[in-house]
Chain A
């Protein structure tokens, strides 16, 4: 059929009869460069221009360290909560049949669709000492709004769909025959869940965890209303960036942003490694 001689060696693009490669790739690259790459490299350039000593001084500033600790700590806690409850929600949505399942399923995407500022003021109103949930927790001595627990609540809201939507499709693909086989071989339901189902779901759960965590670390809109924003106590790193910007302290804002980006990057790298390992082990 084809008469074209097979050219050996390196080639940028495989031949194709479809037109428009140069136009679409060129436009996409230009747009990507203008909107994303140039501004982001501006950030890298500015933080590099700071010099190591200045950068280090900002990084180990007590307020910066505390803000980073709060951001990463609350995001971690919220991601753990979401892994537990998100997996249960996904399981109920996939395995059980009940009226209103479609609505419940659609509701899971609410945090994707609801603007973060709206979520922020709604959650604050709910968990404030005189709010619907807050006044129930008050007698128990549990203060949620204007404390770090409030930050966790907001991040649980924001992160939930990431876990459910990554775990759900994998659960749908599980072959029931595997469970049946395990059952006929004498496994109890508990053993089937922990030894047969969980290993298959583990990579998806880790992915969902890392997505929820990454989103939580950077989250701003929903958190600032409920957090109380006390320095050293409930001040998140993105808020500290905004505060430094408002003080025209561009250096500090840039340095904190660079640290956040680097830490998130390292975190995603570690998660990727864990994932590769779990795929090898259980895959």
Chain B
């Protein structure tokens, strides 16, 4: 439809006519509203975290971070993320391979099921494991008889974390691999590559930036999850307290510096996540294009 001749004139019309943009005052008002909104709702909370953490000086800050309970919370959070993120990566790759590379019945339904944890309240995500593994739970008696502890221990926290971060990697990879099609893999196979070779040398390099993007988001949520973990953790200090749970305990004890010191580490993680995410989008925007917009 559009005539390329006419399109080429566009750069000359630097100043847009009033008909296709707002008048200057309206523009100024809209920008002022947007900035004020972003400043109040996003920037100020971020600033207040670091402000409160350093309210009593750098000494109090480092002291708060070096307490044994805080250290064990940091260790537990890293451990939980180190178990749950790789598991969800393996699942994400496997689900994306099945869904993007093949046509089969019930595919749309399967894709919907993968997204299910996003529409479940985090508290309910924790509750389902309590109902399953708790003392009154379906498997409670059997677990107790065999001396297996899942609830109010690390396995329960890992399970709840896996539940809430379940869709992240898969939903980044599925649209990306669908967009890329099967051509590259078919070429590799016809040249004599095996299935695993085609995956390692063709598919994985093709999706690596999209995969990293998914891992980044998955990790941020895994380390920051509160509701689901809170229900299954039992809040045992030094044992089953993750960083977000430790923030809550310190805050409820009116230890503001301690709470915000731990919170500042999590906020730092969020900032690093955002920076890396933006860099990935800027650099490899085309290669992870299918993933824009959540």
Contact = CB atoms under 8 A, between A and B. Distances in A.
A25 to B, nearest CB: 4
Contacts of B137: 42
Contact of A241 (B91, B103, B127): B127
Contacts of A66: none
B103 A14 contact: yes
B274 A36 contact: no
Interface string A239-270: 10110010010100110010011001000100
Contact of A14 (B104, B124, B185, B199): B104
B40 A245 contact: no
B80 interface: no
Contacts of A110: 42, 46, 270, 274
Interface in A1-55: 12-14, 16-21, 23-25, 27-29, 31-32, 35-40, 42-43, 45-46
B220 A126 contact: no
Contacts of B127: 43, 241, 245, 253-254, 257
A107 interface: yes
Contact of B37 (A88, A115, A125): A88
Contacts of B41: 156-157, 160
Nearest to B44: A126
A67 to B, nearest CB: 12
B214 interface: no
Contact of B27 (A12, A19, A96, A132): A96
B78 interface: no
Contact of A111 (B42, B97, B119, B292): B42
A122 to B, nearest CB: 4
B189 interface: yes
Interface of B: 2, 17-23, 27, 30-31, 33-35, 37-38, 40-46, 48-49, 52, 90-91, 94-95, 97-98, 101-105, 110, 113-114, 116-117, 119-124, 127-132, 134, 136-138, 159, 162-163, 166, 182, 185-186, 189-190, 195, 198-199, 217, 220, 223-227, 230-231, 243-245, 247-248, 251, 256, 259-260, 263, 266-267, 269-271, 273-275, 277-278, 282, 292-294
